[in-house]
């Protein structure tokens, strides 16, 4: 990432802060078991402003500070530790490679930070995210308060930095869109590979392995979220991640998986028949979900409000369920009674970006916000007819279908970033027929 772009982002934050100081820690490292850590992934807000990839780092922005406005606390170089853990940027690297105006060893933060808080009115901070860090910040503030008799003033205003940062992150800039396109491209290859590889008798985790193979090959450090590889009845479990069941002839397989590239997520779902040929019932329900998805994507354009794609998808889904005699009544009546909810219990999309369920408000002053160019949303309607669904003929049972794409709002409409993954009945069956 161009260091100038990051500098611009930090300036934009500082302009909006109107004084005070901003403190942004990266994510803590977490233990997985005994002495094994979970793979480290930086905090999204921190990374958005710094692109600093190492753990144990804190960025501080001090607008107007004569000796430099951007301070970075990070791990010092350490020859011995680096033999085991790899190279660190160190203090010099933080300045030279990451553009910090000033850098300090993270081990000195307890000595340095209280000084920065002296006579500073306002602290901007992503409060409540990391409890350990909240406690440390309060300890630093208390240290300054203890000096009040010497005339030093402690901060008296704490502002949630979310408002500034998350509004910025909602509008993706060209360099972010490039990364999201890469994430989608890698994920598309993975979904296509999974479709080609799928055979009855395989285990869900074998298909997951095909996905991970393409993610890694495409340069993704990790999936953006745990992949869902759900065959048969499991396709009706929304957050199924065990991925350990066997796939059977005649069942559907629902895959919800996306790669993360440089901390930007893809989030893509496709549903296809394990044996490569949709049954009559699977076809009928699939066509309904696809029609709902296409109609919803058509509503993703500037000027429409956030909920329009969802409202459209719900109407198309209900009409489909009426046509198939799964529901009875009128569209408006069924919406009013929420009678579709046993089969469609989630919303049609969410913001997508550095976090899979990305930041950004959905309402402004209590009304759905208008869609604007640069926003990225998923569009992911589905239908899930679980076994034993009341009043539904058993031929529909255990069919869970979701179709999810990642959609960028452009000036005059939208671009489907994940369009390379087939989603019509014909295109899916054709790709599956190719085999591995």
Annotated active-site positions, please?
Answer: 35, 239, 256, 267, 346, 350, 357, 380, 384, 402, 404
Helix axes 425-434, 280-298, angle to 10 degrees: 120
Helix axes 174-197, 425-434, angle to 10 degrees: 60
Q: Choose which of 45, 69, 267, 406 interacts with ligand GLY (CB under 6 A).
A: 267
Residue 404 beta carbon to ligand GLY: minimum distance, rounded to whole angstroms: 6
- In the structure encoding, which two tokens stand for residue 21, read together? 């100081």
Residue 419 beta carbon to ligand GLY: minimum distance, rounded to whole angstroms: 17
Nearer to ligand GLY, 251 or 404 (CB): 404
**Judged by CB under 5 A, how many residues of this single chain contact Mn ion?**
4
Of the candidate spans 45-53, 250-258, 285-293, 421-429, the one that interacts with Mn ion by CB under 5 A turns out to be 250-258
Residue 260 is a binding residue for ligand GLY (CB under 6 A): no
Nearer to Mn ion, 378 or 414 (CB): 378
Q: Choose which of 256, 260, 355, 405 interacts with ligand GLY (CB under 6 A).
A: 256
Residue 275 and residue 200 in contact, taking contact as beta carbons nearer than 8 Å: yes
Q: Which of residues 338-397 bind Mn ion (CB under 5 A)?
A: 378
- CA-based nearest residue to 360, from 380, 377, 335: 377
Checking DSSP bridges between strand 122-125 and strand 157-160, what pairing results, if any?
parallel
CA dihedral over 288, 292, 297, 299, signed as positive or negative = positive
Residue 269 beta carbon to ligand GLY: minimum distance, rounded to whole angstroms: 6
Which residues does 56 contact at the CB level (< 8 Å), separation at least 6?
26, 29, 74, 75, 106
Residue 269 beta carbon to Mn ion: minimum distance, rounded to whole angstroms: 5
260-278 b/e (C-beta count within 10 Å ≥ 16 → b)? bbbbbbbbbbbbbbbbbbb
CA dihedral over 205, 206, 211, 215, signed as positive or negative = positive
Residue 239 beta carbon to ligand GLY: minimum distance, rounded to whole angstroms: 8
Checking DSSP bridges between strand 228-231 and strand 252-257, what pairing results, if any?
antiparallel
Residue 323 beta carbon to ligand GLY: minimum distance, rounded to whole angstroms: 26
Residue 356 is a binding residue for ligand GLY (CB under 6 A): yes
Q: Which of residues 94-153 bind Mn ion (CB under 5 A)?
A: none
Q: Which of residues 369-408 bind ligand GLY (CB under 6 A)?
A: 380, 404
- CA-based nearest residue to 257, from 217, 209, 309: 209
Nearer to ligand GLY, 130 or 225 (CB): 225
Residue 345 beta carbon to ligand GLY: minimum distance, rounded to whole angstroms: 13
Nearer to Mn ion, 208 or 267 (CB): 267
Residue 368 is a binding residue for ligand GLY (CB under 6 A): no
Nearer to ligand GLY, 356 or 403 (CB): 356
Cα 51 from Cα 263, distance rounded (Å): 9
Q: Which of residues 402-431 bind Mn ion (CB under 5 A)?
A: 404
Nearer to ligand GLY, 239 or 426 (CB): 239
- In the structure encoding, which two tokens stand for residue 252, read together? 């559907």
- Binder of residue 202, out of Mn ion, ligand GLY, none (CB less than 5 to 8 A by kind): none
Each residue 254-273 as x (binds Mn ion by CB under 5 A) or -, in order, gives --x----------x------
Nearer to Mn ion, 231 or 276 (CB): 231
**Judged by CB under 6 A, how many residues of this single chain contact ligand GLY?**
7
- Binder of residue 130, out of ligand GLY, Mn ion, none (CB less than 5 to 8 A by kind): none
Residue 339 beta carbon to ligand GLY: minimum distance, rounded to whole angstroms: 24
Site residues for ligand GLY per CB under 6 A: 225, 256, 267, 350, 356, 380, 404
Site residues for Mn ion per CB under 5 A: 256, 267, 378, 404
């Amino acid at each position: 990432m161009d260091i100038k772009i990051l500098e611009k982002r930090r300036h934009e934050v500082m302009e909006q802060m109107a004084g005070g100081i901003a403190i942004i820690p990266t994510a803590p490292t977490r233990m997985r078991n005994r002495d094994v850590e979970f793979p480290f992934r930086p905090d999204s807000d921190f990374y958005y402003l710094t692109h600093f990839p190492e753990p144990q780092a804190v960025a501080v922005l001090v607008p107007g500070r004569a000796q430099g406005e951007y301070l970075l606390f990070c791990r010092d170089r350490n020859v011995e530790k680096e033999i085991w853990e790899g190279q660190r940027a160190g203090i010099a690297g933080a300045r030279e490679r990451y553009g910090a105006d000033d850098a300090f060893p993270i081990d000195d933060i307890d000595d340095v930070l209280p000084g920065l808080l002296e006579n500073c009115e306002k602290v901007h901070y992503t409060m409540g995210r990391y409890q350990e860090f909240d406690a440390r910040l309060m300890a630093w503030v208390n240290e300054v308060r203890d000096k009040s008799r010497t005339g030093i003033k402690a901060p008296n205003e704490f502002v949630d930095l979310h408002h500034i940062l998350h509004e910025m992150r909602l509008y993706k800039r060209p360099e972010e869109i490039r990364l999201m396109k890469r994430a989608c491209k890698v994920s598309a290859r993975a979904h296509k590979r999974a479709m080609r590889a799928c055979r009855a008798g395989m285990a869900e985790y074998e298909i997951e392995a095909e996905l991970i193979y393409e993610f890694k090959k495409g340069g993704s450090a990790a999936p953006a979220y745990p992949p869902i590889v759900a065959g048969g009845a499991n396709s009706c479990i929304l957050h199924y991640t065990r991925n350990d069941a066997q796939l059977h002839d005649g069942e559907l397989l629902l895959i919800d998986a996306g790669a993360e590239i440089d901390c930007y997520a893809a989030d893509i779902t496709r549903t296809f028949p394990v044996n490569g040929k949709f049954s009559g019932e699977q076809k009928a329900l699939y066509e309904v979900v696809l029609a709902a998805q296409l109609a919803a994507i058509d509503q993703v354009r500037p000027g429409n409000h956030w909920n329009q794609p969802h409202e459209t998808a719900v109407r198309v889904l209900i009409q489909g369920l009426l046509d198939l005699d799964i529901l009875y009544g009128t569209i408006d009546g069924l919406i009013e009674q929420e009678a579709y909810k046993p089969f469609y219990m989630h919303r049609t999309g969410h913001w997508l970006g550095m976090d899979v369920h990305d930041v950004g408000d959905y309402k402004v002053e209590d009304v759905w916000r208008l869609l604007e160019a640069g926003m990225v949303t998923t569009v992911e309607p589905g239908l899930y007819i679980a076994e034993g669904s009341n009043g539904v003929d058993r031929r529909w049972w255990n069919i869970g279908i979701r179709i999810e794409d990642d959609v960028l709002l452009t000036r005059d409409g939208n671009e489907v970033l994940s369009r390379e993954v087939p989603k019509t009945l014909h295109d899916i069956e054709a790709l599956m027929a190719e085999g591995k």
